[in-house]
Structure 1
Amino acid sequence: MSNSPAVGASIPISSVPNLRDAGGYRTADGSRVRTGLVYRSTDLGRVVDEDVAALDALGITTVFDLRTVAEREMLPDRAPTGAKEVPLDVLADRDPSAAPAMMQKILTDPALAEQLLGTGDTNEHLLGSYREFVSLPSAVASYRALFTDLARHDDTPVLIHCTTGKDRTGWAVAALLLFLGVDEDTVFTEYLLTNEQLLPSFTPVFDKFRAAGGNPDILLPILGVRRAYLEAALDQVRTDFGDVETYLSKGLELDAGDLRALQERLLSRD
């Protein structure tokens, strides 16, 4: 019997929540996305001494950091030993300082949170963000650099992360898996694993919010993920390009050689 972890299983490094291998999934033609090459997680700004060896053991050689300049300055990564750090500011064409500050206020002020978030199951700001992952110039440039690097450089394993590893990272991994031929239902399942693997780390935040008189449930749409968010990005792709492969080739301007290299590097025919 194999001792390999289940596909999509959380990698138990407590100071790096939402850490998992993006591989292991079957594609439409029966191939499999290779494991041990692409990981995803939250930021690495809170890695504790006790977790350094476990993180290093993954062998990560490149860290793609999708955060804003302000986010990186607020909490610099403690990257794996010897890993190259590649900053790719997906949201550079937005105000990079307002969002983190406003988020802190929302999480500590229930009245403000209800005013700005309402009580719905999705968040309009995040729906707009996911559409911008496809169209915002800085997002286009960042995802182009990410996928081009994956195609042209044999510097795997890599780690892709943003702050919570759910939105900017979620789109990167979803787009990659869809391009490689993983079916959409499976990609949504992988994407939604974040709710299981990330939200428990926010227990202290939920407890403080409740103690301040708030209903923690209204935070779920911004601290977790929703199917509607990823659907918003895919709708933008279909509107602008028709499908994910054309998004990579026309939107991100990857040439045929890059697309072929991604498949060759990341797919196994076993």
Structure 2
Amino acid sequence: MNDAYRRTVSIASAPNLRDLGGMPSANGNVKRGVLYRSASLSSLTDTDQGWFSTLGIQTVYDLRTAAEAAESPDRLPAGTERINLDVLADASASIAASVGQLTTDPRTFVASLADGQAERLFEDSYRDFVRMPSALNAYRSLYLSLLDEDRQGAALFHCTTGKDRTGWAAASLLTLLGVSEADVYDDYLQTNTDLLPALEPVLQQAESHGVEREALMPVLGVRESYLAASFQQMHEQFGGIHEYATDGLGLSSGQLHGLRTILS
């Protein structure tokens, strides 16, 4: 997978970081330097905070659970506002919030996801991103905050690995902006290139416990079927992306126009 629009930002301690801008949309190219996506910023080093600051990001939206955020809090440059939007607050359990178990007991974790179980669980989680009340509230709050006239600078949203909850946030927003389906999936699948090198220590640790790295790919990477499950749920439940935004997220036509103006 190649980053055709050169949006990846290489900051070693901020993996899976890229600009949402650059892709053609219904109103011209999505604006660069306005909105970013990434994995957790809990490992951002002092040196890399300086590089991060050059992006002008003043608001960070954390889509993780409260437990995830408490266990690995973001390390942000001074003056950066962090807003917690717990997508999975209503979920009793979710594979998307359980990846951290790979560092504690990888063999048991992977064994529980054999025979296609990982794919099935991820696809169900991706449906939750569309149908779960806490998810609808979180993504609505994200969009409304982006529209806030008092918000300054660029913004970024992330979860733990920046691929699932973050993946749907990016895919749904890009689709709302009129980005082609092919480009939306390309952005989503770019995670397999941008994230996996940063997870090499996790892969090596799992291998030391007798877990083959290929068994981890459904968990640490992304697959088209995962995102397709979100879009299928969206069409089944709401009818399309516009109805998802208006009926599901409760956004008005004026607010959708505002988003398009800010971002494209």
What TM-score does the superposition give when structure 1 sets the normalisation length? Answer: 0.90
Q: Residue 19 of structure 1 aligns with which residue? A: 17
CA distance in 2, matches of 1:182, 1:12: 24
Q: Classify the secondary structure of the residue corresponding to 1:86.
A: strand
Distance 1:13 1:192 in 2: 19
Unaligned runs of 5+ in 1: none
TM-score between the two structures when normalised by the length of structure 2: 0.92
Quote the Cα distance in structure 2 between the aligned partners of 1:167 and 1:144: 17
User: Are residues 16 and 210 of structure 1, via their aligned partners in 2, closer, same or farther at CA, if it must alter by over 3 Å?
Assistant: same
Tell me how far 1:211 sits from its aligned partner.
2.2
Quote the offset at 1:7 in angstroms: 2.0
Kindly report the root-mean-square deviation, in angstroms, between the aligned alpha carbons of the 2 structures: 2.1
Structure 1 residues 31-55: Cα deviation after superposition (integer angstroms, max 9, x where no partner):
1100000000011111111111101
Q: Choose from 111, 114, 125 the match for 1:129.
A: 125
Alignment check: 8 A CA contact 1:66 1:89 kept: yes
C-alpha separation between the residues in 2 aligned to 1:70 and 1:83? 21
Shift of 1:257: 1.3
Distance between the aligned counterparts of 1:240 and 1:170, measured in 2? Answer: 19
Shift of 1:163: 0.7
Q: C-alpha displacement at 1:120, in angstroms?
A: 3.8
> 1:9, 1:36 → 2: CA distance?
10
Match of 1:185 in 2: 182
Tell whether the 8 Å contact from 1:11 to 1:20 is kept in structure 2 after alignment: yes
Alignment partners' CA distance in 2, 1:258 and 1:204: 43
Q: 1:122–1:228: 8 Å Cα contact kept in structure 2?
A: no
Q: Does 1:38 align with 2:35?
A: yes
Aligned partners of 1:64 and 1:161 also within 8 Å = yes
* Displacement after TM superposition at 1:8 (Å): 4.5
Show the 5 A alignment for 1:65-144: 65-95=62-92, 103-107=99-103, 109=105, 111-120=107-116, 123-144=119-140
In 2, Cα distance between the equivalents of 1:96 and 1:51?
33
Q: Which region of structure 1 is more displaced relative to structure 2, 105-114 or 245-254? A: 105-114
Is it true that 1:195 corresponds to 2:192 in the alignment? yes
Runs of at least 5 residues in structure 2 that lack an aligned partner in the other structure: none
- Map 1:215-234 to 2 at 5 A: 215-234=212-231
> Is residue 2:148 matched to residue 1:152?
yes
Q: Does the C-alpha gap of structure 1 residues 213 and 60 become closer, same or farther in structure 2, counting only changes over 3 Å?
A: same
Q: 1:237 to 1:97 in 2, by over 3 A?
A: closer
- Contact 1:68/1:96 (8 A) holds in 2: no
**CA pair 30-90 structure 1, distance change in 2 beyond 3 A:** closer
Match for residue 249 of structure 2 among 252, 255, 261 = 252
Tell me by how many angstroms 1:6 deviates.
Answer: 5.9
